[in-house]
């Protein structure tokens, strides 16, 4: 027990209590503005969404009534909802796994010493800094079957693929979008993992090498154990990012063809702003929130474990 934490026997208990209370009060007062902002910007809208999900509210009528869990019952009874949930999970899983793996390969490459390394670091980061609307336009243009660059190149390289309908073939649309998402997201995982790689102790790698470990063994037994926590956190943060992704999907396919790229955020938007059903879309948002909350709890738990281990 530290000295500061031990109660001084010379101060009466009553005074100590007041002093403690004052200390707490100051603390509470100091966090009040932040709590206020959080309440206004996060908690109130969140409560409002939960509240709306229990009403048959639409944008078409000023009157609405409490209907309990009917919106949820209707959603879970609709045939398409489970497909959308599963698709959202597939989208998230493949995006995260590929973004982290591609990012790691890029980071390993850029962790080597070679001429022009700084240039490649900038170049590899480009897809991440390009606004998503530009990403969507670029890829829709590249992959267009009629006038796209990919079509022209594939005519010579691999003719059977020259006129594939990348965005409109029900089998191809989701893999195409995942590939674009990986292209866009990998540079960011690369930056984080590159920072992690630079903290791998050189002496441990050196020791492993002296013990006869080859490059793969060094990577497996020294680098990966060192990166494990960073990798886990990156995967969880990117799982949150990707599960929540709306813009890229909406700008390229709007959830089509035939809902084959429809994920929970796109469906929520569609029901709210095209179908004008506030209650139903709020219920969808709450379902999304449920998945995001699970991921967030795991993330926070991991962060705590990591910081506990460090201390």
Per rule CB under 8 A, is residue 270 in the interface with another protein?
Answer: yes
Angle CA 283–288–293, to nearest 5: 120
Strand locations in 30-141, DSSP E? none
Per rule CB under 8 A, is residue 257 in the interface with another protein?
Answer: yes
Number of residues that bind another protein (CB under 8 A): 32
Q: How far is the CB of 253 from another protein (least distance, A)?
A: 7
Residue pair 222/200 in contact by the 8 Å Cβ criterion: yes
From 33-41, 58-66, 200-208, 224-232, give the range in contact with another protein by CB under 8 A.
Answer: 58-66
Q: How far is the CB of 21 from another protein (least distance, A)?
A: 26
Both tokens of 169, joined, read 């073939």
Q: How far is the CB of 173 from another protein (least distance, A)?
A: 7
| Nearer to another protein (CB atom), residue 78 or residue 214 | 78
Residue pair 252/167 in contact by the 8 Å Cβ criterion: yes
From 54-62, 127-135, 190-198, 219-227, give the range in contact with another protein by CB under 8 A.
Answer: 54-62
Per rule CB under 8 A, is residue 254 in the interface with another protein?
Answer: yes
Q: How far is the CB of 130 from another protein (least distance, A)?
A: 19
Q: How far is the CB of 256 from another protein (least distance, A)?
A: 4
Per rule CB under 8 A, is residue 217 in the interface with another protein?
Answer: no
Both tokens of 147, joined, read 């006038």
Cβ atoms < 10 Å from Cβ of 105: 13
- Cross-strand partners of 55: 66
130-161 residues labelled b (16+ CB within 10 A) or e (exposed) = eebeebbeebbeebebeebebbeebeeeeeee
- Cβ neighbors of 230 (< 8 A, separation 6 or more) are 192, 193, 196
Binding map of another protein across residues 168-187, x = CB under 8 A, - = no contact: xxx--x--------------
Q: 114, 147, 156, 290: which one contacts another protein (CB under 8 A)? A: 147
Residue pair 221/145 in contact by the 8 Å Cβ criterion: no
| Nearer to another protein (CB atom), residue 111 or residue 254 | 254
Residue ranges that bind another protein, judged by CB under 8 A:
56, 58-62, 140, 144-147, 163-170, 173, 253-258, 270, 273-277
């Amino acid at each position: 027990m530290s000295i500061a934490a031990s109660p001084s026997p010379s101060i009466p208990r009553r005074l100590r209590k007041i002093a403690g209370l004052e200390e707490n009060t100051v603390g509470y007062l100091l966090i009040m503005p932040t709590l206020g902002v959080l309440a206004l910007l996060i908690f109130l809208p969140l409560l409002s969404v939960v509240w709306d999900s229990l009403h048959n509210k639409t944008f078409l009528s000023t009157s609405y009534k409490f209907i309990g869990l009917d919106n949820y019952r209707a959603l879970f009874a609709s045939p398409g909802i489970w497909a959308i949930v599963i698709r959202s999970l597939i989208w998230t899983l493949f995006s995260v796994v590929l973004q982290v793996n591609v990012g790691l390969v890029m980071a390993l490459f850029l962790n080597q010493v070679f001429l022009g390394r700084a240039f490649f670091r900038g170049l590899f980061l480009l897809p991440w800094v390009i606004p998503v609307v530009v990403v969507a336009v670029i890829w829709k243009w590249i992959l267009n079957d009629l006038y796209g660059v990919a079509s022209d190149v594939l005519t010579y390289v691999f003719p059977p693929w020259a006129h594939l309908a990348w965005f409109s073939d029900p089998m191809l649309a989701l893999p195409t979008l995942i590939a674009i998402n990986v292209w866009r997201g990998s540079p960011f995982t690369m930056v984080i993992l590159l920072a992690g790689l630079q903290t791998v102790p050189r002496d441990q790698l050196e020791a492993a090498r002296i013990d006869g470990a080859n490059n793969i063994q060094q990577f497996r037994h020294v680098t990966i154990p060192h990166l494990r926590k960073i990798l886990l956190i990156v995967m969880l943060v990117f799982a949150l990012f990707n599960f929540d992704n709306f813009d890229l999907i909406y700008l390229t396919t709007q959830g089509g063809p035939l809902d084959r790229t429809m994920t929970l955020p796109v469906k929520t938007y569609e029901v709210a702003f095209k179908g004008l059903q506030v209650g139903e879309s709020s219920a969808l948002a709450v379902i999304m929130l449920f998945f995001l909350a699970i991921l967030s709890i795991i993330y926070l738990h991991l962060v705590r474990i990591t910081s506990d281990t460090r201390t």
